[in-house]
Chain A
Amino acid sequence: MPVQILMPALSPTMEEGTLAKWLVKEGDVVTSGDVIAEIETDKATMEVEAVDEGKVGRIVVAEGTEGVKVNALIAVLLADGEDNSAIDAAMTTPAAPPELAPPVEPAPVASEPKADAVLSTTTGPVTSEAPEDLEVPEGTEFTSITMREALRDAMAEEMRSDDTVFVMGEEVAQYQGAYKVTQGLLDEFGGRRVIDTPITEHGFAGVGVGAAFGGLRPIVEFMTFNFAMQAMDHIINSAAKTLYMSGGQMGCPIVFRGPNGAASRVGAQHSQDYSAWFSHIPGLKVVAPYSAADAKGLLKAAIRDPNPVIFLENEILYGQSFEVPVLEDWVVPIGKAKVVRAGSDVTIVSFSHGMFYALAAADILAEEGISAEVIDLRTLRPMDTATIISSVQKTNRLVTVEEGWSECGVGAEIAARMMSDAFDHLDAPVLRVSGKSVPMPYAANLEKLALPTANDVVQAAKAVCYTG
């Protein structure tokens, strides 16, 4: 039986690509390891190697073809002794799609609080309008850019206007960033200001703090925040506490940034959400934006801030496009939450990628006649409690959403603040939706179960509305 060569996936998220070039032609003999083709994805050009030995019997997809689906048949290899007549058989037998084991039923969700009162609002779909955006002047144009580009533009703009700003981290310069967030910075600013470090997080975090003491404004990139645990001592003991210990003399204007939280199937040591960890520390500011516009404006604010700022990004959001205002100097103040969707029945508060579930849930709830107000915290420390309270005064119900663990988490902090500052406005206990309290599992089905879903948020919202 001839060997079918299928279009490979070159990253966990790739669905199709361009077959840029064939490096073999029909009749060529290949052995495993030979590079046979080049494939382009949105991020890179990659080589495809032969895994089996044989003669190239037919090239099915011509070079230059765009939009070739992953797992499509692209060529047929003939084994020893097979001739061209075998090709047609191989062409008609459909390429075997990967046979996945039947999905396992998800575990039932924990029981919701029992309710006897029923929400008294309308049944049937509700509509929602985005509240007026007071941060952008009237008549401002918007442009659609990715989160990745917004972050890069923020750094580039600040570096242009302030020579003390520099970027340091693993693979930030020549490789253009492990996740391509620093793309182009080395070209524009050169090696003095865009610096590749060895793999030595504790060391370069400390070097960054020292440089900040010395009057510079470092942006320290962690390839992911999982690796910032190596640097925790300098972030907390050196960056966060020194101003206080020096009686106000030794400010530390530094930004620690990078992707935080779960990506996709990268396992327990590469998937942790550190939002709550950093939010615990006096002397730090903690920012975790969801939209590219907020990310750009907040990163510029973070770079200008005279304090250490932890800037938590999210890998899944890097490739997503958002409308970003076209303004000379777009800065979003640290410490202000934003009502991104107005509603009257229940308030949903989230941040970073948690907003994805919150917004999806609000859509589902609207269909079912429940009007949810959605707040994007954007900054976790200092937390904008006032914006949450003014929403709760209206809705009297609150659900928090985060991907991290619930114990001593961001939701726990919000719930405690509502207990002390908005107790009289609550008609139901605050409910938290969060990631499950387990190290992130690798298996696809378990990973899904470990993360929150829009449905979890819907269920929690209904529970606090007593309509569940």
Chain B
Amino acid sequence: MATEKKTTATKAASRGAKKASDTAQELSFTAEQERLAYKEMLLIRRFEEKAGQMYGMGLIGGFCHLYIGQEAVVVGMQMAIDEGDQVITSYRDHGHMIACGMDPKGVMAELTGRRSGLSKGKGGSMHMFSREKKFFGGHGIVAAQVPLGTGLAFSNMYRDTDRVCLTYFGEGATNQGQVYESFNMASLWKLPVIYIIENNRYAMGTAVTRASAKAEELFNRGSVYGIPGEQVDGMDIRAVKRAGDKAVAHCRAGKGPMILEMMTYRYRGHSMSDPAKYRSKEEVQKMRQEHDPIEQVRQRILDAGSETEDSLKDMDKEIRAVVAEAAEFAQSDPEPDASELWTDILVEA
């Protein structure tokens, strides 16, 4: 995979597309940034492992799409934006919510369908929101969030703020027509939206090459609309952050949208009931062993000597405690009151 990506990069570069140069200098994180990156990514991973386990115990129902493997994308992008910037994504949303600072207890209680869940138990895994944290969902229809994120960016332009909207979607979603309708409007009206394609190589059981023409350069899919795009190593949080910084600056400068194609990977099945027979165990194992986003940071931290094995273990313990607390809360919190069936259908005017 590593070699495959290199050839892609060279090809892209020779076509004149913008491809970041990966000099260590440009990529380096401070010790504090490494620590933050490690902690945030680990929290998402432990949360998702717990969610998977609770699904196995029958405590979570329906669809549950885990984010394990993709943590660097959302944490790196979050490090590139400021308060007030908006985030919107698909049903694979637990990691995004945690990265946005939403309470793990509230997320977990929504997964178990309880009254203190972020949507009062009425939304579930795929549908959570937080106006306060500027997280706009949580959308179950593939690619629906793309025009919605574009509209959030429109509201920023309209009100003349310098906020940007991070609009995440899968590589499978890039084949929906509404994505291109959005690209056109965003470019035409110079909207401050960053389209983040989380290319985890699969849409359910469909490998990207089986569903997408020119699958190796999805970052170019806005080029006919004049939207610059970049392919990024989405397993390396430093590369994500750097690409994010650049895109945010581009948007804030009023230059319109940008596309970042994050090359990433999901370790688990599409949802909990996917046996993932469409890829080899070796492929998954190789990604985990050679490209794991958390392990990369861990190694750098240890090499730099800013933390020790023991202090990292303590950090893991603390994170596990946060997740365990969320899990306990999500089991003891009562189900919503029956009267909630009839609330929130319309705003009472």
| B 302-349 contacts with A by CB, 8 A | 331-342, 345
A56 to B18, CA, bound (A): 50
The answer to whether A51 touches B332 (Cβ under 8 A) is no
A403 to B44, CA, bound (A): 38
A121 to B275, CA, bound (A): 55
Interface string of A154-190 (1 = CB under 8 A from B): 0000000000000000110011001000000000000
Which B residue sits closest to A50, measured CB to CB?
A: B49
Is A211 an interface residue when CB atoms closer than 8 A count as contact?
Answer: no
The answer to whether A230 touches B288 (Cβ under 8 A) is no
Interface size on B, residues (CB 8 A): 66
The answer to whether B332 touches A174 (Cβ under 8 A) is no
Is A338 an interface residue when CB atoms closer than 8 A count as contact?
Answer: no
Which B residue sits closest to A178, measured CB to CB?
A: B204
The answer to whether B143 touches A199 (Cβ under 8 A) is yes
The answer to whether A443 touches B338 (Cβ under 8 A) is no
Contacts of B140 in A (CB 8 A): 226, 267, 269-270
A200 to B173, CA, bound (A): 8
Q: A174-B278, A266-B63 are contacts. A196–B273 as well, Cβ < 8 Å? A: no
Contacts of B338 in A (CB 8 A): 104-107, 445-446, 449
Which A residue sits closest to B143, measured CB to CB?
A: A199
Contacts of A268 in B (CB 8 A): 122-123, 127
A101 to B334, CA, bound (A): 5
Which B residue sits closest to A270, measured CB to CB?
A: B140
Stretch at the interface among B23-31, B79-87, B206-214: B206-214
Contacts of B127 in A (CB 8 A): 267-269, 442
The answer to whether B121 touches A443 (Cβ under 8 A) is yes
Name the prevailing secondary structure of the A interface residues. loop
| A 13-57 contacts with B by CB, 8 A | 32-33, 35, 43-46, 48-49, 51
Is B147 an interface residue when CB atoms closer than 8 A count as contact?
Answer: no
Contacts of B269 in A (CB 8 A): 46
A311 to B184, CA, bound (A): 35
The answer to whether A265 touches B124 (Cβ under 8 A) is yes
Interface string of B113-141 (1 = CB under 8 A from A): 11001010111111100000000000111
Q: A170-B206, A171-B206, A199-B143 are contacts. A267–B126 as well, Cβ < 8 Å? A: yes
A248 to B269, CA, bound (A): 48
Is A423 an interface residue when CB atoms closer than 8 A count as contact?
Answer: no
Q: How far is the CB of B156 from chain A (nearest CB, A)?
A: 26
The answer to whether A446 touches B62 (Cβ under 8 A) is no
The answer to whether B61 touches A444 (Cβ under 8 A) is yes
Interface string of B272-305 (1 = CB under 8 A from A): 1101011001000000100000000000000000
| B 40-76 contacts with A by CB, 8 A | 46, 49-50, 52-59, 61-63, 68
Interface string of B193-220 (1 = CB under 8 A from A): 0000000000111100011100000000
The answer to whether B335 touches A445 (Cβ under 8 A) is yes
Interface magnitude class on chain A: 35 or more
Which B residue sits closest to A446, measured CB to CB?
A: B341
Is A81 an interface residue when CB atoms closer than 8 A count as contact?
Answer: no
The answer to whether A449 touches B341 (Cβ under 8 A) is yes
Contacts of A270 in B (CB 8 A): 62-63, 126, 140
The answer to whether A267 touches B124 (Cβ under 8 A) is yes
Contacts of A49 in B (CB 8 A): 49, 52
A466 to B304, CA, bound (A): 82
Is B161 an interface residue when CB atoms closer than 8 A count as contact?
Answer: no
Is A369 an interface residue when CB atoms closer than 8 A count as contact?
Answer: no
The answer to whether B336 touches A446 (Cβ under 8 A) is yes
Interface string of B100-115 (1 = CB under 8 A from A): 0000000000100110
A443 to B219, CA, bound (A): 38
Q: List 7 A-B contacts (CB under 8 A).
A: A9-B58, A43-B275, A49-B49, A70-B57, A266-B124, A269-B140, A446-B338
Extra A-B contacts (10), CB below 8 Å, given A49-B49, A170-B206, A445-B335? A8-B55, A12-B273, A44-B273, A46-B273, A51-B53, A174-B210, A178-B204, A267-B126, A442-B62, A442-B127
B-side residues, CB < 8 A to A, are 46, 49-50, 52-59, 61-63, 68, 110, 113-114, 117, 119, 121-127, 139-143, 172-173, 175-177, 203-206, 210-212, 267, 269, 272-273, 275, 277-278, 281, 288, 331-342, 345
Shortest 7 CB-CB contacts between residues of A and residues of B? A8-B56, A265-B61, A442-B124, A265-B62, A175-B205, A443-B113, A269-B140
